[in-house]
Amino acid sequence: MKKILCVSLILLTHWASGQDKTIRIATRNISLVYGINREGRLVQQYFGQQLQPQQADALANGKQEAYVTAGMESLLDPAIRMVHNDGNPSLELKYDTHTSSKNSDDITVTTVTMKDPAYPVTVILHFEAYYKEDIIKAWTEISHSEKKPVLLTAYASSMLHLKADKYWLTQFHGDWAKEVDMPEQYLTAGMKILDSKLGVRANMLQSPLFLLSLDHPAEEESGEVLAGTLAWTGNFKFGFEVDEHNSLHINAGINPYASDYTLKPNEVFTTPAFIFTLSAKGKGAASRSFHRWALDYGILDGHAPRLTLLNNWEATGMDFNEQKLTSLFGGAKKLGVDLFLLDDGWFANKFPRNADNAGLGDWEHNTSKLPHGLGYLVTEAEKQGVKFGIWLEPEMVNPKSELYTKHPDWVLRLPNRAENYFRQQMVLDLTNPAVQDFVYGVVDKTMSENPGIAYIKWDCNRMLTNTWSPYLKEKQSHLFIEYTRSLYKVLDRVRAKYPHLPIMLCSGGGGRTDYGALKYFTEFWPSDNTDGLDRIYIQYGYSHFFPANTIAAHVTNWGHQSLKFRTDVAMMGKLGYDIKVDDFTDKELQFSQDAVTTYKRISDIVWHGNLYRLISPYKENRAVFQYTSDDQQKTVIFSYLMNISKNDVFTPVKLQGLDPQKNYRIKEINLFPDTHSSYHFDKVYSGDFLMKEGLQLVAGRRSLSSNILEITAE
């Protein structure tokens, strides 16, 4: 009896101490608080803006289980589902321990360990809170020590619970050449899912990004909005479940579709990071939080210079030779860009790469087109004063290739059905270590034999369909996960040997736009659509999560706008050209040379400044963007009139982020030769005036016209 009483007292003491535990993940403006309930389970007490005094959030009485398990009493879509050795499909997670430590003045790392009292299963929730940037990263580790493997059929990175009167969800949906359209919808009771099942080039239709407005649709600089993304270059799933009490529950992680995972004893299953911020000052503040975080932590060499370039694709396609290419080097020199990029079509001999139906996988230079090899082109480019870059698509193979002939077992394809082609190509089985060695070897051999190569465009032009892995055999349900893990293994090897080589992440346009990949890349190709008007919408969409120096933007002949309009749009990103320079008129060449010089002068503000999307192209037949330096000394305004009508009424544009006490002078830049500004900003304006009264930015009222203004404090 005494022993039972003693045990009871110990359990009561443990429960009481659990009730005193408050686990707080906090940034400058956000607070996420967990506690332990009577059953010893972790619950989310509070998620919202920082309350005053600092500990006031501990008084919140949220009771929702933090990481809902399947097979128990919850009616919600679970964050995790596990089937044990004995066939039991339930999991109960009780709080065990937690730790919190500061990695730096900016980053606080928190872990919460939970265990199942009936099975030897451990789940650890990880959090990194970036104080200055107002960003939280959350991911999960799952492990067990049962005698045999267990089956995981759901494994979210994180789960969040919100309570508001209403919810509006903005997704980033599209297709080739019309990426990241931004439909917004009111969430009603039930489940809304944003996901991808494409495996490779997973973001082709749906980008792993969302905005969630609370109570009413958020505006650019007002309203409460949650912005979230998943750092994973594969299948993803965001589940938004509004329950019978009008509470919203968000599950974020890898899409478990066709991906039941057999977890071996003592193996650790680590989910990708769910990265999010909560803004009380609209979508713009959320974007600026992501931009600051990305530049410091999320992308490769975020504060390093980026290379302007001239690409040959629009000028030549795959129809070129050494003479044609070297003649284009002079165009790069004339423009004043840093680099010439040789695109697709330079490789393969037995099955020459003259079209997209042959050659992928055979990564030796084509001796008919390039008899002296890539090294010759590197040298010739350097003679012209420009660097040289190269296009690769090392994960893919054409059936019409020597690689396919030699290694049919290296290809992802169903063994008993007709092969399925997209763009005449198939995907290599990157889960196979031999294929990983091959893909790494493509990069390493290209660089080792031609050490002057200064840039790589890494393409990936098809998704997974009709897929089966010869290497994985009976573990086909691991394929989607293992492919992405294997890609990261290859990229880890590339970056170990070439840590700062600039590499563009290209995937037929925006097929790979995520922070899982961007830690290996300096920029991404947002869309094959380079029409200046369409690009305003596309770059507007991506700007909600990615800073300007990651968004590659090229001047091409796509579209019916002026060269100035197309150039102005491209200067809002990482500027490049894909155009035949010799076709320029004298004035077009002069304008483009001046534009490159101007861009290099203002690029630091565009890349690293604070972005204010002053006028949305979705709301008016114009768009206005403002980039402002941290010290508020310099601002650059990009203003576009789109297809306007006589009934359009354009009010003055109120600037943001300036110092109200400072005086500013305004000058229009990037003018076409022999033209003059239509604006007459010949006065000095206070920051207070510019933010409260604004500027009238519709000089001329001409459709498809653009202006760039440079505003400098005096």
- What residues are labeled active site? 459, 528
User: Is 667 annotated in some ligand binding site?
Assistant: no
User: Is 468 annotated in some ligand binding site?
Assistant: no
Other CB atoms within 10 A of residue 581 CB: 20
Placement of tokens 């604006």 in the chain: 679
User: Is 528 annotated in some ligand binding site?
Assistant: yes
Burial letters 118-137, b for 16+ CB under 10 A, else e: ebebbbbbbbbbbbebbbbb
User: Is 181 annotated in some ligand binding site?
Assistant: no
User: Is 357 annotated in some ligand binding site?
Assistant: no
Gap between the Cα atoms of 542 and 533, Å rounded: 15
DSSP 218-254: --SSSBEEEEEEE--SS-EEEEEEE-TTSEEEEEEEE
SS3 label, residue 262: strand
User: Is 460 annotated in some ligand binding site?
Assistant: yes
* Side-chain-side CA neighbours of residue 31 (13 Å): 20
Gap between the Cα atoms of 391 and 505, Å rounded: 11
CA angle 615, 617, 620 (to 5 degrees): 75
Where are the alpha helices (H) located in 425-571, listed in sequence order?
Answer: 433-449, 479-497, 515-518, 532-542, 563-570
Q: Is residue 512 within 8 Å of 202, Cβ to Cβ?
A: yes
User: Is 423 annotated in some ligand binding site?
Assistant: yes
DSSP class of residue 434 equals H
Strand positions, DSSP E, 120-258: 121-130, 135-144, 150-163, 167-173, 184-186, 190-195, 206-214, 224-230, 236-242, 247-254
User: Is 346 annotated in some ligand binding site?
Assistant: no
User: Is 296 annotated in some ligand binding site?
Assistant: no
Q: Is residue 271 within 8 Å of 254, Cβ to Cβ?
A: yes
| CA 400, chain centre distance (Å) | 33
Q: Is residue 457 within 8 Å of 341, Cβ to Cβ?
A: yes
User: Is 77 annotated in some ligand binding site?
Assistant: no
Gap between the Cα atoms of 507 and 182, Å rounded: 20
**Binding-site positions:** 176, 343-344, 423, 457-461, 506, 528
**Binding-site positions for substrate:** 176, 343-344, 423, 457-461, 506, 528
